[in-house]
Amino acid sequence: MINEIKHILGRGDILIVEFTKKNGEKRKMKCTTSLDRIPESEHPQEGSIFTYNTEETLRVYDIEKEGWRSFRVDSVDAIESTTISCISTSAHRVC
């Protein structure tokens, strides 16, 4: 699933990700990594390298909360973008 998420974010799309937080709470987040969609004041500092944290955790900009957030890929229940929609569970994946 990480490759699909990176692909969506790499196109500059807005990703809507539904995931389960560590405390068991379900969360839906509208996010991006496209600097064109992020306020300039929130851009990474010049000289810093913008990267995904790890292969398990992704760093994204939450458009509604107006700040950088991370989520664990293994906690994702569903993803949606402006061009594709996918529902994934441990049993199956539907796009």
- Which tens digit of pLDDT belongs to each residue from 13-68? 899 999 999 999 999 999 999 988 999 899 887 766 555 567 788 989 999 999 99
Residue 80 DSSP SS3 = strand
DSSP summary character for residue 45: P
Which three-class secondary structure state does DSSP give residue 50? coil
Which domain range does residue 26 map to?
Answer: 2-94
CATH at residue 76:
2.30.30
pLDDT of the residue at 65:
96
What band does 86 get if pLDDT is binned at 50, 70 and 90?
low
Q: How far apart are the first and last CA of the chain?
A: 12
**Number of domains within the chain:** 1
Alpha carbon distances (Å) from 26 to 19, 29, 47, 49: 6, 10, 35, 30
The residue that leads in pLDDT, 95 or 72, is 72
Task: Count, in order, helices (H) and strands (E) of the chain.
Answer: 1, 7
Q: Can you give the pLDDT at residue 94? A: 45
